[in-house]
Chain A
Amino acid sequence: MNPDRLKEQAEDAQVEAALRNFRASIHYWSEQEIARPRVIERTGWSRFQTGFWRMIANPTLGGALAAALLITSVGVPVGIHHERVMEAARQARLDQQKRDLQQQLAEEEARKSLAADKVDDGAFLDDVDSDIAQATPDAMQPLASLMIDGPSNSSRR
């Protein structure tokens, strides 16, 4: 037989054997792996999650937790609303007191101003009178007395 042909046949046989072993190896590996139970590694977070859900699943603890959640979810908004209402009422009271005080102050100011005006007018008239009295010379006194008598005297004339 041709030596090249023999060499080729030997090579083919070797390749075939290698592929057969390769196939057997993968089949064996796969069978081992598929039969192996899978272990899931749990991290700290996943342990916490599992523990949490387990706790929730407990009827007593779960019920208590649900009640606490309900109370918190209803109570907190109600409390906040009540606080806001109280704050608004307190603010309204303060505003009213402030307005009353301002009004009182304004009235007081007006009274004081009126009184001061009256005093000033009187003093001014006194000053004018005294000034006029000083300014009129003695020689004009008869005329001044005529002016005091007024138009009734003149109409009589």
Chain B
Amino acid sequence: MATATTVLESMGKPAAAIAYSAERVSNSAAEFAEVAARYRPQIFRFLLASLRDPDSAETLTQDCLLKAHRNWASFRSESSVMTWLLRIAINLQKDHWRSRRLQFWKQTASNSVDADDAGNWLPSGESSPEQQVVAKDQVRQVWKTVKNLSERQRTVFMLRHVEEMEIHEIAQSVGLSEGTVKAHLSRAMVRVRAELGGKR
């Protein structure tokens, strides 16, 4: 550190400014580490729900945090950290789908979980076995509908009903107007209702 200070001083930078800068970098790194630890599960969850592939979700979560780390200095707090991180995750997810579509002829190993199997994940809780069966069936139906939604509708639906985000937060994350978000959400809900109603 002393050597670096000497070098920078010789370049005409005052020692106080250098010390402040180093402290800021150190604070920034610590700050980001805290942010990453706090939001990583949420980013992973969103990506897992969107991709239904744990390995891809893990990889994209790492990519998202790496990208965020690189751009952490330019984050201006105009939106919440979570909104900003989700925006990065959504873009990475789009790139992921695009590359998957382009490489569809390649024999890529995919650990994607089928929508029917995804419905099996339910906390046991205190509900009765009958309630568990009903709940699993409902989850399977929602998954079935979500699977057939457009990419944008699915993203909006997941952010609203899995991450429980407000409309304005979703709009910021997806980069759409609140009206468009509401429209996508409404269309998605109509299909979910139809699926659940039709099964009755």
Q: Which residues in A have some Cβ–Cβ distance to B below 8 Å? A: 11, 14-15, 17-19, 21-34, 36, 38
CA A23 to CA B161, docked complex, whole Å: 7
A15 contacts B139, C-beta separation under 8 Å: no
| Known contacts A14-B138, A27-B45, then 13 further A-B pairs from the complex at CB < 8 Å, ordered by chain A residue | A15-B196, A18-B139, A18-B141, A19-B142, A21-B138, A21-B139, A22-B142, A22-B143, A26-B45, A26-B49, A30-B45, A36-B54, A38-B58
CA A38 to CA B121, docked complex, whole Å: 19
Query: Which residues of chain B from 118 to 161 have any CB-CB distance to chain A below 8 Å in the complex?
Result: 118-119, 121-123, 135, 138-139, 141-143, 161
B123 contacts A18, C-beta separation under 8 Å: no
B196 contacts A25, C-beta separation under 8 Å: no
B161 contacts A28, C-beta separation under 8 Å: no
Question: Are A22 and B45 also in contact (CB < 8 A) when A15-B192, A28-B122, A32-B121 are?
Answer: no
A22 contacts B123, C-beta separation under 8 Å: no
Smallest CB-CB separation from B192: which chain A residue?
A15
Query: Which residues of chain B from 182 to 200 have any CB-CB distance to chain A below 8 Å in the complex?
Result: 189, 192-193, 196-197, 200
Smallest CB-CB separation from A12: which chain B residue?
B193
A23 contacts B162, C-beta separation under 8 Å: yes
**Cβ of A22: which chain B residues have Cβ within 8 Å of it?**
138-139, 142-143, 161-162
**Cβ of B164: which chain A residues have Cβ within 8 Å of it?**
23
Kindly state whether residue B48 has any CB partner on chain A within 8 Å. Answer: yes
**Cβ of A18: which chain B residues have Cβ within 8 Å of it?**
138-139, 141-142, 192, 196
CB distance from B57 to the nearest CB of A (A): 7
**Cβ of A32: which chain B residues have Cβ within 8 Å of it?**
121
Kindly state whether residue B179 has any CB partner on chain A within 8 Å. Answer: no
Kindly state whether residue B14 has any CB partner on chain A within 8 Å. Answer: no
A25 contacts B119, C-beta separation under 8 Å: yes
B161 contacts A25, C-beta separation under 8 Å: no
Residues 35-66 of chain B, each 1 if its beta carbon lies under 8 Å from chain A, else 0: 00000110011001100001101100000000
From A11, A25, A30, A33, B197 is in contact (CB under 8 Å) with: A11
Smallest CB-CB separation from A14: which chain B residue?
B196
Most chain B Cβ neighbours within 10 Å, of A15, A30, A33: A30
**Cβ of B55: which chain A residues have Cβ within 8 Å of it?**
38
CB distance from B193 to the nearest CB of A (A): 6
**Cβ of B192: which chain A residues have Cβ within 8 Å of it?**
15, 18-19
CB distance from B27 to the nearest CB of A (A): 28
CB distance from B3 to the nearest CB of A (A): 29
**Cβ of A30: which chain B residues have Cβ within 8 Å of it?**
41, 44-45, 48-49
From A11, A15, A28, B121 is in contact (CB under 8 Å) with: A28
**Cβ of A31: which chain B residues have Cβ within 8 Å of it?**
41
